[in-house]
Chain A
């Protein structure tokens, strides 16, 4: 079970509290996790990545295991600790502004 932690604005939008736990079929990658997340919460479509190109929105970041995975290719396997649920996959609104 993969644990996903969302920023507060997206938790509010999706009417959820705490982490999301997702069962991902096949290899656990960013794409697979986001596909599963958007399937469960269609309201999140377009808020993390583009509807059509699936390109990550510029001010959204993906962190896990104290690493920035934002620039990894979407089909790169996620770290073992994320796959096993030891560590969460963090979707973060980038720090911006003053």
Chain B
């Protein structure tokens, strides 16, 4: 039976939430890897039974887990992430050179066509790839070797590579986003990279329109229109119509254009979702009202979606990797909060209901649409 599997990473373990296509009754399994931080759990687009999880701990470091049966059983695979060559330095918070040091995997992105090939975005920012199902990892060091690499600085959450977008038909083209360096694009499967940040404006850096240094929080793309990209930046919601060559602001009538996640409707390439957050110093929704905003015009004009979401005394955050969509006929939208709630909408955001209310703080949400 067609259904969905929601993969949730939290501060204290992973959870797998499953439902049939109605998305009204949910089975909750977990915590998997109890007590560990799970920055990301995701599934292969080529094999829905193949899952990967990034499990980490300040004490015991990084572990990568793999499931070959849709999350019923897991086994650790390779956890050695060694930077290529002599790593060199990037800038530290105070502007001094700081050695590149692996901290953790933030995001895993299996190749669209092969469950054994998976990219990993890590902190300190770099891109790794495994072609053997996660057993071994090699850095695509052309990214970090970019001329600007030594000038990259961490954001408050660390210098993380958190977003990896694959072109749906051209495997050579990949976009990544780094906080806080910005967006980089390769057209040769990771050998060479160039920054694609023209049009971004960040008042928090010395040159607000610098080629690199922007705190990009998240990118989203609809596979039918890969040249159109949407971005939630530290401040500003942005759009590119030329695969990142240039960006225009589309914040429009949002109550605040600060936020973390951004997602695109599965069947409507101009329907976009964000969760406005009050500010970079107050990481919660404005007025204590948890509202998802939807634009059906590709930006500029936004409508609040509130039905079923708390509209008073709500002071949670929704992190950058914690929103996802399914591809059922009536598109489902899902997001998790730092308060441990995972909300689902089976009607493209018109109404919402919590699947679970009391998980540990949610770091990531992914959805698989099951055949």
Chain A interface residues toward B at CB < 8 A: 7, 9-10, 12-13, 43, 45-48, 51-52, 57, 59-60, 93-94, 96
Within 8 A of A (CB), among B71-87: 76, 79-80, 82
Shortest C-beta distance, A1 to chain B (Å), equals 25
Provide the bound-state CA to CA distance between A52 and B80, in Å.
9
Look across to chain A and name the residue whose beta carbon is closest to the beta carbon of B55.
A13
Q: Is B57 an interface residue (CB 8 A)?
A: yes
Choose among A13, A51, A52 the residue that contacts B63 (Cβ–Cβ < 8 A).
Answer: A13
Provide the bound-state CA to CA distance between A74 and B62, in Å.
23
- CB-CB < 8 A to A57: which residues of B? 59-61
- CB-CB < 8 A to B34: which residues of A? 12
Q: Is B128 an interface residue (CB 8 A)?
A: no
- CB-CB < 8 A to B35: which residues of A? 9
Q: Is B58 an interface residue (CB 8 A)?
A: yes
- CB-CB < 8 A to A94: which residues of B? 59
- CB-CB < 8 A to A59: which residues of B? 58-59
Contact with A along B11-23 (1 / 0, CB 8 A): 0000000000000
Provide the bound-state CA to CA distance between A57 and B60, in Å.
7
Given A13-B60, A47-B61, A57-B61, 8 extra CB contacts under 8 A: A7-B60, A9-B60, A13-B76, A43-B63, A45-B79, A46-B80, A52-B82, A60-B60
Some 9 contacts from A to B, beta carbons below 8 A apart, are A7-B60, A9-B57, A12-B34, A43-B63, A46-B61, A48-B60, A51-B82, A59-B58, A96-B58
Look across to chain B and name the residue whose beta carbon is closest to the beta carbon of A8.
B35
Contact call B60/A93, Cβ cutoff below 8 A: yes
Shortest C-beta distance, B147 to chain A (Å), equals 27
- CB-CB < 8 A to A46: which residues of B? 61-62, 79-80
- CB-CB < 8 A to A12: which residues of B? 34
Query: Between A and B, how many residue pairs show CB distances below 8 Å?
Result: 40
Look across to chain A and name the residue whose beta carbon is closest to the beta carbon of B35.
A9
Look across to chain A and name the residue whose beta carbon is closest to the beta carbon of B65.
A13
- CB-CB < 8 A to A96: which residues of B? 58-59
Q: Is B52 an interface residue (CB 8 A)?
A: no
Contact call A60/B80, Cβ cutoff below 8 A: no
Look across to chain B and name the residue whose beta carbon is closest to the beta carbon of A59.
B59
- CB-CB < 8 A to A43: which residues of B? 63, 76
Number of residues of chain B lying within 8 A (CB) of chain A: 14
Provide the bound-state CA to CA distance between A70 and B293, in Å.
52
Contact with A along B65-107 (1 / 0, CB 8 A): 0000000000010011010000000000000000000000000
Given A9-B35, A9-B36, residue A93 in contact with residue B59 (CB < 8 A): yes
Given A9-B35, A9-B57, A59-B58, residue A45 in contact with residue B80 (CB < 8 A): yes
Contact call A9/B80, Cβ cutoff below 8 A: no
Provide the bound-state CA to CA distance between A59 and B59, in Å.
5
Provide the bound-state CA to CA distance between A47 and B62, in Å.
7
- CB-CB < 8 A to A93: which residues of B? 59-60
Look across to chain A and name the residue whose beta carbon is closest to the beta carbon of B75.
A43
Look across to chain A and name the residue whose beta carbon is closest to the beta carbon of B57.
A9
Shortest C-beta distance, B126 to chain A (Å), equals 16
Choose among A9, A51, A52 the residue that contacts B59 (Cβ–Cβ < 8 A).
Answer: A9
Contact call B80/A10, Cβ cutoff below 8 A: no
- CB-CB < 8 A to B79: which residues of A? 45-47
- CB-CB < 8 A to B62: which residues of A? 46
- CB-CB < 8 A to A13: which residues of B? 60, 63, 76
The 5 A-B pairs of least Cβ separation, nearest first, read A47-B60, A59-B59, A93-B59, A51-B80, A46-B79
Provide the bound-state CA to CA distance between A96 and B60, in Å.
13
Shortest C-beta distance, A37 to chain B (Å), equals 14
Shortest C-beta distance, B38 to chain A (Å), equals 13
Provide the bound-state CA to CA distance between A51 and B80, in Å.
7
Provide the bound-state CA to CA distance between A56 and B52, in Å.
27
Shortest C-beta distance, B79 to chain A (Å), equals 5
Shortest C-beta distance, B32 to chain A (Å), equals 11
Shortest C-beta distance, B138 to chain A (Å), equals 14
Shortest C-beta distance, A62 to chain B (Å), equals 13
Provide the bound-state CA to CA distance between A43 and B60, in Å.
12
Contact call A47/B63, Cβ cutoff below 8 A: yes
- CB-CB < 8 A to A10: which residues of B? 60
Shortest C-beta distance, A53 to chain B (Å), equals 10
- CB-CB < 8 A to B60: which residues of A? 7, 9-10, 13, 47-48, 57, 60, 93
